[in-house]
Amino acid sequence: MKIGPLEGFTIAVTADRRAREQIQLLEGRGAVCIHGPVIKTHPLGSEDELRAATEEVLTGELDLIVLTTGLGVRGWLEAADAIQLGDDLFRRFEEVELYARGPKAKGALSTAGLEVSWTAPNARYEDIVSALAERGVEGRRVAVQLDGAGAVGLCDELEALGATVVRVPVYRWSMPEDTGAAERLIRAIIDRRVDAVTFTAKPAVENFLEIADFLGVADELADALVTDVVPFCVGPVCATGFSDHELAEPFVPEKHRLGSMVQQIATQFAERSTEAQLGGETIRIQGRLIVFGDGERTMLTDREHAILSLLLERPGVVRSKRELLRHCWRGAESDEHLVEVTVGRLRQRLGPAAPAIETVIRRGYRASPV
């Protein structure tokens, strides 16, 4: 039976919008997912506010429109239809130059049948500022579709260049009202019960870190992201949430899309599948999944997986119960009997390879390849 590239691995998903789609893509490749949204997307703050901004875009001279997100493009067009300004806004889009921050905004515009004049090469606001500084916008009128965080820096820099900026609010981001699921996700990362964590917006990274700081586990979280849990971001702007805080550099797909990020995760973890010799038996290890030579499978628990991984780092080397307890429970437990029980269960799951997990009296355990 074919093994999915993510079978045996657990992925933490922090998104709220399109989370179900992301989880389905990951589960379709065999992953187990933990969902803990760290961000909340609110479609509109005020219809009156959007109407006023849209009417301002439709009135008078306008040199160009900057579209920052795919969600914002779609939301603006749909909301304009709802307030009977859709046709006028579409014509305005056809009349002026459209600058897209990245492939999502460009894709949404192209899907709507609109031509994009320019796309930021690295999907960063600084690209837009540089391009418009070179072009010259002093005394010109520029509309900016705001992202969920308000695109404050972009608007301020354009105004500093002398442009008159029309700010168009379409949606906003906030912290979830209930952060319980996010807190459980963060603790799962610290406990190494997940192998990767995904982000689709920079404010999600910032909220994630803020929640960890509130819980008093920021240092433990940072350590987990450096050593064991791999962060993935959908695009470079999202990834700056890590670089701004000097955290582990996340993986970013070449194409800044959800499907590309999922495929990158599958590619990265497919390469982590290894074979090992235990008691003369050849086993394939893929995360927590063990596949025996005859095709039989078994799934290890987090603790069993941690113990087996440590023993296989240096086959034949004895690991004390205290060392296994410290490494696999990370200081959360002090009873060495937990190690004995977990090793017993690990042997049961390993079947014919079980004798390879040897007990060395008064010293600990070791993995024997023969």
Within 10 angstroms of residue 265's Cβ, the number of other Cβ atoms is 25
Domain C-terminal end among 270, 301, 336:
270
**94 and 17 in a common domain:** no
* More confident of the two residues 56 and 147: 56
Q: What is the pTM of this model?
A: 0.77
Residue 284 located in a structural domain = yes
Residue 2 located in a structural domain = no
Question: Residue 232 has which token pair?
Answer: 């993935």
What's the sign of the alpha-carbon dihedral 327, 224, 276, 30? Answer: positive
Residue 127 located in a structural domain = yes
Within 10 angstroms of residue 87's Cβ, the number of other Cβ atoms is 10
> The domain that contains 224 carries what CATH number?
3.40.50.10090
* 197: pLDDT strictly greater than 90: yes
Q: How confident is the model at residue 230 (pLDDT cuts 50, 70, 90)?
A: very high
Within 10 angstroms of residue 98's Cβ, the number of other Cβ atoms is 21
* 172: pLDDT strictly greater than 90: no
Q: Are 323 and 344 in contact (CB under 8 A)?
A: no
What pLDDT was estimated at residue 204?
93
Residue 3 located in a structural domain = no
**197 and 49 in a common domain:** no
Domain with 327, as residue range(s), is: 274-367
**66 and 211 in a common domain:** no
Q: Are 346 and 307 in contact (CB under 8 A)?
A: yes
Q: Could you read off the pLDDT of 107-143 as tens digits, one per residue?
A: 999 999 999 999 998 888 899 999 999 999 999 999 9
Bridge partner list, 251: 232
Question: Residue 136 has which token pair?
Answer: 């010259």
- Tell which residue, 4, 1, 45, has the closest CA to residue 273: 4
What pLDDT was estimated at residue 45?
53
What pLDDT was estimated at residue 46?
57
What pLDDT was estimated at residue 370?
66
> The domain that contains 354 carries what CATH number?
1.10.10.10
Residue 348 located in a structural domain = yes
Domain C-terminal end among 173, 188, 207:
173
Q: Are 121 and 93 in contact (CB under 8 A)?
A: no
Q: How confident is the model at residue 351 (pLDDT cuts 50, 70, 90)?
A: confident
* 281: pLDDT strictly greater than 90: no
What pLDDT was estimated at residue 171?
85
**52 and 167 in a common domain:** yes
**83 and 167 in a common domain:** yes
Q: Are 62 and 141 in contact (CB under 8 A)?
A: yes
**327 and 261 in a common domain:** no
Domain C-terminal end among 145, 173, 201:
173
3-class SS string, the chain: CCCCCCCCCEEEECCCCCHHHHHHHHHCCCCEEEECCCCEEECCCCHHHHHHHHHHHHCCCCCEEEECCHHHHHHHHHHHHHCCCHHHHHHHHHHCEEEECCHHHHHHHHHCCCCCCEECCCCCHHHHHHHHHHHCCCCCEEEEECCCCCCHHHHHHHHHCCCEEEEECCCEEECCCCCHHHHHHHHHHHCCCCCEEEECCHHHHHHHHHHHHHHCCHHHHHHHHHHCCEEEECCHHHHHHHHCCCCCCCECCCCCCHHHHHHHHHHHHHCCCEEEEECCEEEEEECCEEEECCCCEEECCHHHHHHHHHHHHCCCCCECHHHHHHHHHCCCCCCCHHHHHHHHHHHHHHHHHHHHEEEECCCEEEECCC
* 292: pLDDT strictly greater than 60: yes
**14 and 74 in a common domain:** no
**199 and 86 in a common domain:** no
Residue 4 located in a structural domain = no
**196 and 318 in a common domain:** no
**Domain count along the chain:** 3
**361 and 253 in a common domain:** no
If you average pLDDT over residues 62-85, what whole number do you get?
90
Question: Residue 245 has which token pair?
Answer: 């805080």
Average pLDDT of the residues of the chain: 91
What pLDDT was estimated at residue 44?
62
What pLDDT was estimated at residue 333?
74
Residue 287 located in a structural domain = yes
Residue 5 located in a structural domain = no
What pLDDT was estimated at residue 49?
85
**190 and 104 in a common domain:** no
Angle at 261 between CA 257 and CA 265, to 5 degrees: 170
What's the sign of the alpha-carbon dihedral 75, 79, 81, 87? Answer: negative
**61 and 157 in a common domain:** yes
If you average pLDDT over residues 27-51, what whole number do you get?
86
Q: How confident is the model at residue 1 (pLDDT cuts 50, 70, 90)?
A: low
Nearest-angstrom CA–CA distance, 53 and 271: 50
What pLDDT was estimated at residue 335?
86
If you average pLDDT over residues 38-42, what whole number do you get?
89
* 82: pLDDT strictly greater than 70: yes
